[in-house]
Amino acid sequence: MGFLLNILVIVGALFLGIVFLLELGRRIRLARMEREGDVGKGVGAVEGAVYGLLGLLIAFTFSGAATRFEGRRHLIVEEANAIGTAYLRLDLLPAEARSSLQEKFRQYVDSRLDIYKKLPDLEAAKAALDKSTNHQNAIWAEAVAAGQSGSSPSATMLLLPALNQMIDITTTRTVATQVHPPSVVYVLLMGLALVSALLAGFSMAESRSHNWLHTLLYAAILSLAIYVILDLEYPRMGLIRVDAADQLLMDVRQSMR
């Protein structure tokens, strides 16, 4: 909840900032109109450039966040498939080696699920990741030892590549959770939203009557768009989540009888 609260505070502050700058821009133009007459000529090109850049930046950041969100869900499917395949190939080993490895697999999948249950507590998630890595090492060492015993070399040749893929996907998933645009992109996005609000307020002064509906709608739409982008970027910490995809790993765990 701490991360979600921080995001809501940022978006709430952005909403208020947009409302304030809309009103500020409107009052600046009204004051200049009182002194100098019509002062709105020649600003259309500037407004168009700012609005265009803002729209482009929102489109790119939203598209990137949505792509990464889908990519993270796809990686969960890949890991579930990799674990399921490796577990099934344990049946090729002799009974004495198979039983021990099957139990280690159950512990391993439990530790993998535990990592993402701990989020957004990063320290707890890191501890769970270390535990999962220890299970990986134990599984690999025992599988290699089973191959070196010479009792089932063909089975080991099939098992070890599957284990390698199962281990590799964990690194890919860990890196995927850490891949985000640089912070300066979000600073620029919010800065452009505020600048656009000032320009929009300047234009709204053409009508001397104050339209609060347009003001609040403009602020709400921009703030909501930026919130959705941030939430998509951190799908384990906000309201938009990939937790439903974890059911695939849970199904694999339940199949390990």
What per-residue confidence (pLDDT) applies to 38? 63
Contacts (Cβ under 8 Å, ≥6 apart) of 121: none
Half-sphere exposure of 171 (CA within 13 A, CB side): 6
Question: Quick one: pLDDT band at residue 5, thresholds 50, 70, 90?
Answer: confident
Whole-angstrom distance, CA of residue 203 vs CA of residue 38 = 11
Q: Which tokens go with 12?
A: 């709430």
Q: Does 36 have pLDDT greater than 80?
A: no
What is the arithmetic mean of pLDDT over 49-73? 93
Q: Which of 209, 207, 223, 186 is nearest to 61 (CA)?
A: 186
Q: Which of 149, 163, 23 is nearest to 82 (CA)?
A: 163
Question: Which amino acid is residue 127, in one-letter code?
Answer: A
What per-residue confidence (pLDDT) applies to 13? 95
Q: Are 72 and 119 in contact (CB under 8 A)?
A: no
Least confident of 51-60, 76-85, 142-151: 142-151
Whole-angstrom distance, CA of residue 225 vs CA of residue 175 = 26
Contacts (Cβ under 8 Å, ≥6 apart) of 91: 98
Q: Which domain holds residue 99?
A: 2-254
Whole-angstrom distance, CA of residue 15 vs CA of residue 224 = 9
Whole-angstrom distance, CA of residue 131 vs CA of residue 189 = 39
Reply yes or no: is the peptide bond before residue 120 cis, omega within 30 of 0: yes
Q: How many domains is the chain partitioned into structurally?
A: 1
What per-residue confidence (pLDDT) applies to 140? 92
Q: Which tokens go with 27?
A: 């009052």
Question: Which amino acid is residue 211, in one-letter code?
Answer: N
Question: Quick one: pLDDT band at residue 120, thresholds 50, 70, 90?
Answer: confident
What per-residue confidence (pLDDT) applies to 207? 67
**pLDDT for 193-218, tens place per residue?**
999 999 988 888 776 667 788 889 99
Helix (H, G, I), strand (E, B) or coil at 177: helix
